Amino acid sequence: MSPRRGATDLAGVLLIDKPAGPTSHDVVATVRRLTGERRIGHAGTLDPLATGLLVVLVGPYTRLERYLSASDKEYEAGIAFGAETDTDDAEGTVVRTADVPEDLLDRSTAVRLLAGVQGTHEQRPPAYSAIKVGGRVAHRDARAGVAVELDPRPVTIHEAELIGIDVGHARWDVRFRVSKGTYVRALARDLGRAAGSAAHLVALRRTAAGPASVADAFTLDDLASRAQEHGVEPLFADPLPLLGLPVVTASPTEVADGRPLPRDRFPGADGAAVAIAHGGALLAIYRAAPERLAAEVVLPRGAAA
C-alpha cells in the first residue's frame, strides 16, 4: 500500500510563539508547509489579535489534543475602559460608550474589582467566537448580521493580578490564570460593566498552557530557519511534562495494538488518565478502569519524545 498523501514520519509537539495578526489556522498552515505533514493541529485557539503560546501537534500527536487543551491557561491582558465593542476586543465596532469613573484608575479599586471575578462563575461567551450553535459557527452568523446570544457556561478564574494602570489611556494590564474555555475578551467586557463603565480587550498574550511556557516557544521565523537547516524534529518538546499526567512504565510490546495493562500498575483513582512511557518516550495514553488500564491513544513506535 502506498503512503497516504501528506503523511510523514514526523510525530511531536511544537511550542510556537504566535505573533499578532495570523489566526491559529494560519499557524497550522505554516507548520504544514514547513513539514510536509497534513496532520497538524493545535491545543487551544488564539484570536488573531493575541500573541503568545500556541501548542501545535504534528502527525499522530494530533490525537493528544483533548489532553493538552484541558490545561489551565495564563494570559497577560490589556483592558481599555470607556467603550464596549461587538467582538469584546479592539478589532470590533464600538457598540456602547460610557464614562470612566475616576476611582476606576486607582489601584485599590482595580484590585477590588479583580478580586470579584476570581472563582467559578457563569460566563457568556462573545458572539464572535468559534462556538457552534445548532451546527453553525457563532462568529459566521454574527458577521452575517444574525443576532447571536450564546448560553453562559461555567469558567474558573484562578488568579487575576493587576500588573499596572495606564491612567492616560484608561487601561489596566492584568495577569489572568483561567480554566479551559474562558474568554478573556468576555472578562474584559464584564469587568467594564461591573465597574459601571464599559471595556474591551486591547492586548492579549498567552504566557502558559498547563506546564508549557512561552519562554520555551519558537517564533515562526525561528521555526522556518531551523526547519530549513535541520528539520523540525530537534524542536519537538518532550510531551510527558506537557501532559502533566501520572506516568506508568511499560514496554512497546505490552501496549502494542492497545492491549490492556494490569490495574495494579497504577495505584490512582478509577477514571484517571495515565501516560504510558518507555525509556522516557511516550507510548500511549491509558484510562484507569476498575480491573485494568484501558488504552485510549496508542502512538506509533518511534514517535518523538
Distances (CA, A) of 85 to 127, 186, 205, 267, 283: 11, 11, 19, 51, 46
71 SS3 class: coil
Q: For residue 221, give the DSSP letter.
A: H
Report the distance separating Cα 172 and Cα 134, nearest Å. Answer: 37
Residues 6+ apart with CB under 8 A from 34: 223, 224, 227, 232
Catalytic entry in 9, 17, 26, 47? 47
Residue type, 304: A
Cell of 215: 519562554
Verify whether residue 106 is a known catalytic residue: no
Residue type, 234: P
Cell of 50: 493575541
Distances (CA, A) of 117 to 30, 73, 188: 37, 16, 10
Active centre residues (catalytic): 47
